[in-house]
Structure 1
Amino acid sequence: MRPLFRRVLVGAQIAALSWVLAACGGGEGSSGPPVLPKEQQPAQKDVVRFLSQAGFGGAGADIDRTQRIGFPAWIDEQFSLPQDRHQGYVDSQIAAATLAGQSTNQQNWIYESFWRTAVSGNGQLRHRVAFALSQIFVVSLADSSVGENTRGVASYLDMLGRNAFGNFRTLLQDVTLHPMMGLYLSHLRNQKEDPSRGRVPDENYAREVMQLFTIGLYELNLDGTVRLDGRNEPIETYTNEDVTGLAKVFTGWSWAGPDKSDTRFFGGNASADRAVLPMQSYPKYHSTSEKRFLGTVIPEQAGADPEASLRVALDRLFSHPNVGPFIGKQLIQRMVTSNPSPAYVARVASAFNDNGSGVRGDMKAVIRAVLLDPEARSPLPGATDYGKLREPVLRIAHWLRAFGAQSASGRFLIGNTDNPNSSLGQTPMRSPSVFNFYRPGYVPPNTDIAAAGLVAPEMQITHESSVAGYLNTLRSVISSGIGSGSPRDVQPDYGEVIGLADRPDALVDRIGAMLIAGEMSPELRAQAVDAVGSVAVSTSNAQSAATARLNRVKLAVFLVMASPDYLVQK
């Protein structure tokens, strides 16, 4: 896909080059996985690609170790690592804020915990999958009701991480019953129908759990292609009647607590942990009438049984043949490539349907299938439909990991990065809507991508202002670090490459190897080498020379990260 993206993004590279030049002024332990024989070890460039797909990128030690043990062993090792808990971090900040008499609900704590885990956490795969899931099962701090529950959002992100290596059926139930999802999609405090008052159950979650979380709008083949009817039209997966019937299932659920009183149902008598505990059922408010959806019927109940209704509904959704290709393709898009082949999707969907031991929904099997597929590991050379635009959060996380960034405070004080004009145009857990920052089927209009019949989801948040904002932000953070404080809290370490600053070609090649697996176009390499070489290094003033060498490194990093070669993850 890079040639197609290049025509969209190459202007940014050219502008960046002239702009920055002006601005610059011229061995394994016995308990670890075994080391592979040298001839079986993957090439270093393949390891760099893999770590960008499976995590947030790698530094030198990560790359070397992954190369020695291989990809399957790395994945298995990641499966065994304990989870980094966001709620634990937020709870510690709440305790400190309470002692200091400060606000105990600060959204920045979520962002800090996200970046802290992305940059310095060991569980890279879990955090990357959880980030992908957070863009499918969306709740957003931008929503006022969710935004005032920072601790609850930390718990929600932990829940996604906990289920990242579990079973999709459990994930679906935990998402459904999490109070942050209940607030966001309004099925918390959802009441049964009352014809005398003209009240009907809220249908928001019933609609989105089908459209966005499980089966999508149209019936799919195993390979993710849309099934067509006899008139060659897509077959819809559900009707308005299905939404109405399913909405009744999601009545009678609200805040957890020691009783099921009316007051607690409507939000009074708040339990201290209600934002982090699964919603509990309130039979008084659950619909007992017949519930019909997706060919399933829950008969009228003599006594309200919310748990039984929920079990039948989620089992029906989980068993739908669309789930494997629908979820599998989105995980491929979030981690590997925007336009996977139907065969790739089918292989991942098959792993979802059966992990090899008769188990459906095994997320470990799905993740292995996504990351170890031949299409992920060995894309066809020169394929124009392969790859994905790196979203802004992933770019900065990659840079921070590649250059061993450290936080002076230990907290990674990176706050809201929403503004596309002056920041990243994207903040973790702050999607503008339930449809995420971008849709999986987004096609940038009037582009070669559209003409080729391809999608480019991340292009939905890419425009003239965001490109300029990214370049400004990139230059600033590469030069001065990122985060609050003076100096800024999070600082990169360029020590690994500063020794190459007197050899512009070697410096550019090394940074290219670290960031884009050495896949640098001859044009970019020539531009970068010339630009870096134009920064004069004093032969008489040691301090001036040291500053110039550091500026050479910063310029080389900037030019690589501003280029289409980097922006498109291959």
Structure 2
Amino acid sequence: MLDSLRRVTLGLSLGLLLLTAGCGGGGGGGGGGGTTPTPPSSIVPTDAQAERFLTQATFGVTDADISNVQGQGYAGWLTSQMALAPSASHQTFVETRLTQLQASNPAATLTPTEFYQSFWSQVVTGPDQLRQRMKFALSQIFVVSLADANVDTRGAASYYDMLGANAFGNYRTLLERVTLHPMMGLYLTSLSNQKEDLATGRHPDENYAREVMQLMSIGVFKLNNDGTNQLDSAGNPIQSYTSEDISGLAKVFTGMSWYSPTPTTNTYFGRNKDPNASVTPMTLYPAFHSITEKSFLGTTIPATTTSDPAGDLKIALDTIFNHPNVGPFMAKRLIQQLVTSNPTPAYVGRVATVFNNNGSGVRGDMSAVIRAVLTDTEARDIAVTTGPTYGKVREPIVRLANWMRAFGATSTSGAFLLGSTSANTSLGQSPLTSPSVFNFYRPGYVPPGTRLGAQNLTAPEMQIVDEVTVAGYVNTLQGAVGNGVGSGNDIKAAYTREMALANDASALADRVNRMVLNEQMSSTLRTRIIDSVNGVAVPGGTATQAQIDAALLNRAKLAVFLAMTSPEYIVQR
């Protein structure tokens, strides 16, 4: 039955997706700047409200989490989630897997697959769901990628752990941890970056200096606090930095290289490397650090005769951190990752204001920022969010995680044996494996030839949507729903609650509406699901219980498949 409906669903998904997807948009509402309007904590969220909240804040709805949100309220749930320690260490997971692999093959080495297994294990089973979703969002802003052969699996696992550990801390600390992590040093070539040499014509590598400003902090243009561009007298956007700023900042990022308890020239160039060098912050080597004048973003570090890489780094990161662009830049990126592709300037401004001052005089408090993102009127008020231009495309990784969590998926092996899903014939996306430093998609992407451009709307995730990737998702979901996913179909859903309702097609439609559509299912989709489910006969008479259960299971799988390949699901609202 699933196979017979696949072609129809594919056509619906592609055609309607291009019409409705991620138009994201701030659809109507949202007041002026100032502090974020927070829903009263005394109001108990309805089922549908709790489901929408969890869709934005986690990797997917579960019955238990709905109850938790209703019992604690939005604010209470956020507080309890932020208080949870990280559920597990990705680095420890991959190290344990390596020990297991080497028990049967002493020559075995780690591959990205071991990180992917750790990722799926945590996003499905981790109780710290807000942290899981936040570190995934941060990994698409502070990009390091396993697609680069220089980035090793153990180091990448450590980097992802670092993002999670700092998800609710201060942005300034996060920026420093990112800057000093050896995987970022490898990926954006700041590791072993040497000071200038006039005799040879060598200049410091400018890669990290450019990208830390463009992609991780201030962006290309000067911003108002609401995220709109500042304009010059001719109405043109004003550049936020120049090539001279890049060159000056690049000098700061010299003299950073592999960790060593006893640093030498050899360890700087990766010889006699410490066993933990790939998972320990880079060491600062004064002999390789520039001592010439460094000017950037209105700050000048004078020339000196004494190398001070730590002092220069502090000045540089403080300068970036205090730039007025950082608040609106991070506000919009996080809103786009979690809530809607095109937030109104008012929404961005409210969140940026919290970044600038959490109410207690602290700048860069990420716990306050994420609270502002998720409790703002434009995130919570259904009257605001039902406009035709509101929402975002659910990226493929999130969709598969939604399925696993909603329908009780478990791993037979306990290791979540799911490898790369990067192929366009699969999900077209694997965690921490973007094709470039610009992530899987750009935050300002507009699909060519669509009405979005005419409406001045962006749909970032649409950059990885085409006929091939839509087909890949439908095929992948068909296999997952029908038989499981991963090596040997290691990860399977139970559908226990769904099977119990499958005799009643209407009740089954209500169930999938609750678990993946936040009770926003249209009457058209509901009718399609009910009619299709009723087309699967449940045997009676002399049928065995096994035959009856098989029919009920097929009904449940069909309802899930139709819901999760519908444009109504793919576009999160």
Same-fold call, TM cutoff 0.5? yes
Runs (5+) with no aligned partner, structure 1 = 1-8, 17-35
Aligned counterparts of 1:348 and 1:102: Cα–Cα separation in 2: 50
Does the CA contact (< 8 Å) of 1:418 and 1:426 recur in 2? Answer: yes
Give the corresponding residue for 2:524: 523
Aligned to 1:196, the other structure's residue is in SS state: coil
Aligned counterparts of 1:475 and 1:429: Cα–Cα separation in 2: 25
CA apart distance, 1:544? 2.7
CA apart distance, 1:501? 1.1
Q: How does 1:341-380 map to 2 (within 5 A)?
A: 341-379=344-382, 380=384
Match of 1:424 among 427, 432, 449: 427
Give the corresponding residue for 2:418: 414
Q: Equivalent pairs: percent with the same residue?
A: 54
> Deviation per CA, 1:506-553, whole angstroms, max 9, x where unpaired?
111211111111101111111111111111221132333321211111
CA apart distance, 1:381? 5.6
Give the corresponding residue for 1:385: 389
Matched, 1:554 2:552: no
Aligned counterparts of 1:52 and 1:103: Cα–Cα separation in 2: 39
Aligned counterparts of 2:174 and 2:524: Cα–Cα separation in 1: 46
Aligned counterparts of 2:217 and 2:323: Cα–Cα separation in 1: 8
Give the corresponding residue for 1:508: 509
Q: How does 1:96-495 map to 2 (within 5 A)?
A: 96-100=100-104, 101-146=106-151, 149-379=152-382, 380=384, 382-421=386-425, 423-485=426-488, 488-495=489-496
Aligned counterparts of 1:70 and 1:202: Cα–Cα separation in 2: 49
CA apart distance, 1:145? 0.3
Aligned counterparts of 1:360 and 1:431: Cα–Cα separation in 2: 30
CA apart distance, 1:43? 0.4
TM-aligned CA distance change 1:115 to 1:288, over 3 Å: same
Does the CA contact (< 8 Å) of 2:14 and 2:470 recur in 1? Answer: no
Greater displacement, 36-45 / 314-323: 36-45
Does the CA contact (< 8 Å) of 2:328 and 2:352 recur in 1? Answer: yes
CA apart distance, 1:233? 0.5
Does the CA contact (< 8 Å) of 1:404 and 1:493 recur in 2? Answer: yes
Aligned counterparts of 1:300 and 1:178: Cα–Cα separation in 2: 27
Aligned to 2:321, the other structure's residue is in SS state: helix
Does the CA contact (< 8 Å) of 2:417 and 2:486 recur in 1? Answer: yes
Does the CA contact (< 8 Å) of 2:222 and 2:229 recur in 1? Answer: yes
Aligned counterparts of 2:303 and 2:84: Cα–Cα separation in 1: 46
TM-aligned CA distance change 1:331 to 1:41, over 3 Å: same
Match of 2:68 among 65, 69, 73: 65
> Deviation per CA, 1:346-399, whole angstroms, max 9, x where unpaired?
011011000100000000000100011111011426312211100000001011
TM-aligned CA distance change 1:38 to 1:245, over 3 Å: closer
Does the CA contact (< 8 Å) of 1:10 and 1:563 recur in 2? Answer: no
TM-aligned CA distance change 1:387 to 1:290, over 3 Å: same
Does the CA contact (< 8 Å) of 1:336 and 1:387 recur in 2? Answer: yes
CA apart distance, 1:103? 1.7
> Deviation per CA, 1:399-457, whole angstroms, max 9, x where unpaired?
10011111111111110000112x11100010000000000100011112222211100
Aligned counterparts of 1:10 and 1:263: Cα–Cα separation in 2: 56
Give the corresponding residue for 1:539: 540
Aligned counterparts of 1:189 and 1:529: Cα–Cα separation in 2: 62
Match of 2:52 among 43, 49, 56: 49
CA apart distance, 1:214? 0.5
Give the counterpart letter for 2:95 in structure 1: D
CA apart distance, 1:258? 2.0
Q: How does 1:70-81 map to 2 (within 5 A)?
A: 70-81=73-84
CA apart distance, 1:15? 9.0
Does the CA contact (< 8 Å) of 1:86 and 1:114 recur in 2? Answer: yes
Does the CA contact (< 8 Å) of 1:126 and 1:164 recur in 2? Answer: yes
Aligned to 2:278, the other structure's residue is in SS state: coil
CA apart distance, 1:37? 12
TM-aligned CA distance change 1:329 to 1:284, over 3 Å: same
> Deviation per CA, 1:180-216, whole angstroms, max 9, x where unpaired?
0000000100000111111100000000010001000
Aligned counterparts of 1:54 and 1:10: Cα–Cα separation in 2: 28
Give the counterpart letter for 1:11 in structure 2: G
Give the counterpart letter for 2:266 in structure 1: T
Aligned length: 538
Aligned counterparts of 2:130 and 2:374: Cα–Cα separation in 1: 11
Does the CA contact (< 8 Å) of 2:540 and 2:548 recur in 1? Answer: yes
Does the CA contact (< 8 Å) of 1:54 and 1:124 recur in 2? Answer: yes
Give the corresponding residue for 2:36: none
Aligned counterparts of 1:381 and 1:106: Cα–Cα separation in 2: 42
Aligned to 2:150, the other structure's residue is in SS state: helix
Aligned counterparts of 2:41 and 2:290: Cα–Cα separation in 1: 64
Aligned counterparts of 1:141 and 1:133: Cα–Cα separation in 2: 16
TM-score (norm 1): 0.92
Aligned counterparts of 1:539 and 1:278: Cα–Cα separation in 2: 66
TM-score (norm 2): 0.92
Aligned counterparts of 2:294 and 2:390: Cα–Cα separation in 1: 44
Aligned to 2:295, the other structure's residue is in SS state: strand
Does the CA contact (< 8 Å) of 2:503 and 2:552 recur in 1? Answer: yes
Runs (5+) with no aligned partner, structure 2 = 1-8, 17-38
Aligned counterparts of 1:126 and 1:236: Cα–Cα separation in 2: 34
CA apart distance, 1:125? 0.5
Give the corresponding residue for 1:32: none
Does the CA contact (< 8 Å) of 1:443 and 1:449 recur in 2? Answer: yes
Higher relative contact order, structure no. (Cα contacts within 8 Å, ≥ 6 residues apart): 2
TM-aligned CA distance change 1:150 to 1:39, over 3 Å: closer
